[in-house]
Structure 1
Amino acid sequence: MKEGTKENPWKLKTPPLTSDYEMYRDTKEGKEVIVCVVGKTTLLYDYRCLNDLHQMLKNHSDWMELGSADEQKPAKEGTVEAWGRSESNPIGGWYGLKKGIRGRFGMYVPPLMEELGLAEVTHEPKGNKMKAK
């Protein structure tokens, strides 16, 4: 069975390896999305984030801090989280699609990038980073 579907989601761990969650590819309102299920919470990310983040990391050509933060909190400048909500990224803003829970891009997307072979991610208790493969 193909991995990354609702029936067979990617089973992932947060970068510090402390929490389990699942992600799968789907279509919502005609848009390709990544559905992220963390406990009883479901987040949605624009599917384009995978290619866009990979390209940005390749251009960056070094490790980049993840900097995960909730939507209501500011993201630390120069982090993957800040880029995932920046007006200067390829979609001009948030890759997170559910208002109120659009943040945590730097927590949940990097492990999927690692699973797909697009990036390396560190797995420390705090201050994790990623870089393109």
Structure 2
Amino acid sequence: MNFKEKIGTKEEPLVLKTPPLSSEYTMHVGEKDGKEILVCTVKKTVLHYDIRCIDDLYKMLKERGDWMELASKDEKIPTKPDTVEHWARSEDNPIGGWYGLKKGFKGRFGMYIPPLMEALGLAEVTHEKRGNKMRAK
């Protein structure tokens, strides 16, 4: 999928809202160690995610064919099985572990990647105060 132009650059990032629509953050394609990554900026906090997560999450959701709970958690907090956050750090995903790349900030995948997928037209995301879910389009 050719989605990189839609995500934006450091100078012109994509502006998104968290699933509950309570906070704004930005996402852009950056580079780290010679590889393209997703750079998520939440106020002054910067998170990095492996850019392969977009295709991998889409394929997993497409195969699943149903809604999946997001269940966003910080890196050190255990995840609930059968959730997007759990999948994003599971040894069973296509990269065999964490899509989050920045030590101490590897979590919160379920908070920041689903709205990006929705903006790219790849997924539907619910927008409740809590317990949000997503599914592939």
For residue 71 of structure 1, the aligned residue among 72, 75, 84 is 75
Matched, 1:102 2:106: yes
1:36 matched to 2:40? The reply is yes
Are 1:2 and 1:8, in contact at CA under 8 Å, matched by a contact in 2? no
TM-score by length of 2: 0.94
Which amino acid in 1 is paired with 2:88?
G
Tell me which residue corresponds to 1:8.
Answer: 12
Name the SS for the 1:6 alignment partner: coil
Give the 3 Å change call, closer, same or farther, for CA 73–54 of structure 1 in structure 2.
same
Q: Is the 8 A contact 2:18 2:24 kept in 1?
A: yes
- Quote the residue 1:126 is aligned against: 130
Partner-residue secondary structure (3-state), 2:118: helix
Report the RMSD for the aligned CA atoms in angstroms: 1.1
CA distance in 2, matches of 1:80, 1:2: 23
**CA distance in structure 1 between the aligned counterparts of 2:48 and 2:81, rounded to whole angstroms:** 23
Q: CA deviation at 1:3?
A: 5.0
What SS does structure 2 have at the residue aligned with 1:74?
coil
Give the corresponding residue for 2:118: 114
Structure 1 residues 20-67: Cα deviation after superposition (integer angstroms, max 9, x where no partner): 000001111111100000011000000000000000000110000001
How far apart, CA to CA, are the structure 1 residues paired with 2:66 and 2:7? 29
* Alpha carbons of structure 1 residues 63 and 39: separation in structure 2 relative to 1, 3 Å: same
Aligned residue-pair number: 133
Aligned mate of 1:87, from 91, 96, 106: 91
The separation in 1 between residues aligned to 2:80 and 2:39, in whole angstroms, is: 25
Match of 1:61 among 35, 56, 65: 65
**5+ unaligned residues in a row in structure 1: which ranges?**
none
Query: Which stretches of structure 1, 4 residues or more, deviate above 2 A after TM superposition?
Result: none
Offset at residue 2 of structure 1 (A): 6.4
Secondary structure of 2:82's counterpart equals coil
